[in-house]
Amino acid sequence: MRFDTPATTNPIDQLKVVGRPTDRVEGPLKTTGTATYAYEQNAAAPGAVYGYIVGAAIAKGRIEAIDTRAASRAPGVLAVITAGSAGKLDKGEFYAARALAGPEVDHYHQAAAIVVAQTFEQARAAAQLVRVRYARTEGAFDLAAAKESAPLSKVAPFAPPPETTVGDFEGGYAKAAVTLDASFTTPDQSHAMMEPHATIAAWDGGKLTLWTAIQQVNWGVRDIAKTLGIAKENVRIVSPYIGGGFGGKGTILSDAVLAAVAARKVGRPVKVALQRALMFNNVTHRPATIQRIRIGADSNGRITAIGHESWSGNIAGGRPEAATAATRLLYAAPNRMTRLRLAHLDLAEGSAMRAPGEAPGMMALEIAMDEMAEKLAMDPVAFRVLNDTQVDPEDPKRPFSKRQLVECLQTGAKRFGWSERPVRPGSRRDGRWLVGMGMAAAIRGAPVMKSAARVRLDNRGIVTVETDMTDIGTGSYTIIAQTAAEMMGIGVDKVTVKLGDSRFPESAGSGGQWGAASSTAGVYAACVKLREAVARQLDMDPASAEFADGMVRAGSRTVPLTHASRWHDLEAEDVMEFGDLTKRYAVQTFGAHFVEVGVDAATGEIRVRRMLAVCAAGRILNPKAARSQVIGGMTMGVGAALMEELVVDKRAGFFVNHDLAGYEVPVHADIPHQEVIFLDEVDPAGSPLKAKGVGELGISGVAAAVANAVYNATGVRVHDYPITLDKFLDRLPDVV
């Protein structure tokens, strides 16, 4: 099926199942500990042995020699594998980093060897016996030092153009009545997901099976086949449950590659889980940025020029952090400019992390908008409303498919009590606490990708859905079950969903906020075919047949659905392919975040008191799951604002705080009451279900809303994230 015209009325619009707050269908498995995550697939791969990765102890240089003799003689050891014994290894198409160092070392904790033993403890102990002699060379680890020489980035997938211009930015900015020129920094951040990167690998002759934690099964098949030099047809990936990804498990990484290499070497299944320290320096992270934003406006507050420049760093072949993405679409201005510059750094690879581009970009943009509003003596909400646009600012002939940003802002302001915000920063107190409110707009793209599914109706009336879509804690199982139930006129209890297996039809996978809309569209397409097969089996007209309450109706006839499959199962498979609607329309999701904070007047301690998100993101397929996604994003936004920072040792070239003791993330006590409002919206250009994604909208803009609230509470601006008390304590108002 092809989706190239906006959706019209279809069976999803019945909303008997879709759109209802539905419990997760896999919830009982997860809450009882019986859901099998990658490292727990023991029944599927009996007799597995254990691999333990030895990370490089330098950030840049060469491996001159590796002495594995003592490790090889250690109890239980089956093999010690290095670049010299691993065989030829290529790289996949998505990540730029090599899985195994040798002889060159590209970054700290790049795998230098893997030790395989009968038990995990034996492998870990033997890994300490591997002796590596390095020749260290100078590396580049400081983004600020590399900034001036950083060239424009190259054109890269999933990134904005390196440079965009509309009108005359420099001229428009120079002529503006009111101007702002501000710089901001955002730090390196870690995904820090609960489940580590983990894989079990097993070979059957020349065929490889990986049980692995991965978001994009199809990318994983492609990339492991390319890395190992085998045919894709000889690879199977299984990933039914994933304990968090946030973009950090997009495709195969060192755990999968080295598990596969080790399993081939020892002739047995091999389990590899990255120890927490290697999850910070061995695999990917959100890269740091330096950003400069310039805004010019007339005396009435209309923006006449907006420019956004961003610098980030990466290893050779890596992509830039797409920090200018939101600025290209969020506000109107006739004169515009964006630039992305990319410095070469010898840190671990920077790559996608929840809302790549929008999350760090809006940490800067939405503070700048608040500062500009203050210069204009305007309310921050009113300033944003004034500069709304219903067409793509870079291409006015391209309208937004749906854009309810103003409604989000105004609904949020009313619900949050924005009118009570102190106009003068630092003027409201609650005992020892300085209290302030802040807000920020939110935008995040709503892309879609080709997605397929297979559906089968059996004689019990059970519909089974199979697709290689993954569930990274986002609720994919449930919204896919709801889609199939709505299409076939049955309850969710009559649907079985099977995900995360490359033997199933290829889906969009989880990432980029495209998973929900794309995967359910694939299920929709397959169900359309199954409905046609059912109608023909019952001698009904497929165009007029109605499916409801387990029955099929056409004209005066009403027949149980099970009559169509009483003699044999009916099966259908289809793929949803998307046309050029995203070129004809700017398809985005929008929101507004409101935050109240308290800042201790004496110590500078910041406490978030309450939060509100208002979202416009197409049809919400499952409000319960969608709310969970948004409050999760809001929580990560608090972390980005106040605590999350990978600290770089700029001499040795590694992230110092590479565990959850040193890398701080919000805990329950840090997060107050959170409220989420979804505006009533359907977007016919989004998908046949008129839905869009929401998982990354929840983080976009949150950090800036927190920062703006801190300013409103204290009168002190901080442009260097995270906002820790050492950056403003000496500027707090005098304690009275």
**pLDDT number for residue 735:** 78
Kindly report, residue by residue over 360-375, the tens digit of the pLDDT. Answer: 999 999 999 999 999 9
**pLDDT number for residue 734:** 87
Identify the structural domains of the chain with CATH numbers, from first to last: 2-35+448-581 (3.30.365.10), 357-446+587-731 (3.30.365.10)
The mean per-residue pLDDT over the stretch 145-174 comes to: 96
List the structure tokens of 727.
Answer: 């950056």
Whether the Cβ atoms of residue 346 and residue 140 lie closer than 8 Å to each other: yes
**pLDDT number for residue 156:** 87
- CA-derived radius of gyration, the chain: 27
Kindly report, residue by residue over 76-97, the tens digit of the pLDDT. Answer: 999 999 999 999 999 999 999 9
Helix (H) or strand (E) holding 510: none
List the structure tokens of 157.
Answer: 């997938």
Nearest in space to 178 (alpha carbons), one of 295, 332, 333: 295
Residue 246 backbone zone (phi > 0: left; psi -120 to 50: alpha; other: beta): left
3-state secondary structure of 552: strand
Alpha-helix runs per DSSP H in 92-251:
120-127, 143-146, 169-175, 217-228
List the structure tokens of 533.
Answer: 């097969």
What backbone torsions phi and psi does residue 590 show, to the nearest 5 degrees?
-135, 160
Strands lying side by side in the sheet with 61-67: 104-105, 61-67, 131-136
**pLDDT number for residue 330:** 98
List the structure tokens of 22.
Answer: 């539905």
Kindly report, residue by residue over 395-438, the tens digit of the pLDDT. Answer: 999 999 999 999 999 999 999 999 999 999 999 999 999 999 99
What does the mean pLDDT of the chain come to? 97
Q: What is the rounded distance in angstroms from the CA atom of residue 184 to the CA atom of residue 360?
A: 10
Q: How confident is the model at residue 736 (pLDDT cuts 50, 70, 90)?
A: low
| Cis geometry, peptide bond prior to residue 187 (ω within 30 degrees of 0) | no
Q: What is the rounded distance in angstroms from the CA atom of residue 642 to the CA atom of residue 282?
A: 25
The mean per-residue pLDDT over the stretch 435-457 comes to: 98
Kindly report, residue by residue over 296-316, the tens digit of the pLDDT. Answer: 999 999 999 999 999 999 999
Task: Please report, for residues 61, 80, 107, 135, 308, the alpha-carbon distance to residue 68 in angstroms, rounded to integers and kept in the order given.
Answer: 20, 7, 22, 18, 51
Kindly report, residue by residue over 24-80, the tens digit of the pLDDT. Answer: 999 999 999 999 999 999 999 999 999 999 999 999 999 999 999 999 999 999 999
Kindly report, residue by residue over 516-574, the tens digit of the pLDDT. Answer: 999 999 999 999 999 999 999 999 999 999 999 999 999 999 999 999 999 999 999 99
- What amino acid occupies position 131? R
Cβ neighbourhood burial of 391 (10 Å; 0-12, 13-18, 19+): middle
Task: Flag whether pLDDT at 22 surpasses 90.
Answer: yes
Nearest in space to 326 (alpha carbons), one of 402, 399, 393, 375: 393
Whether the Cβ atoms of residue 634 and residue 700 lie closer than 8 Å to each other: no
The mean per-residue pLDDT over the stretch 265-270 comes to: 98
Q: What is the rounded distance in angstroms from the CA atom of residue 323 to the CA atom of residue 339?
A: 9
List the structure tokens of 302.
Answer: 């209309």
**pLDDT number for residue 158:** 87
Q: 């001159």: which residue's tokens?
A: 64
- What amino acid occupies position 732? L
**pLDDT number for residue 193:** 97
Nearest in space to 367 (alpha carbons), one of 710, 600, 724, 608: 710
Q: How far is CA 416 from the centre of its chain?
A: 28
CA-angle at 613, arms to 608 and 615, nearest 5°: 165
Catalytic residues: 696
DSSP string, 77-126: EEEEE-TTTS------SS--S-SB--SEE-STT-EEEEEEESSHHHHHHH
- What amino acid occupies position 641? A
Nearest in space to 366 (alpha carbons), one of 701, 729, 592, 718: 701
Whether the Cβ atoms of residue 313 and residue 351 lie closer than 8 Å to each other: no
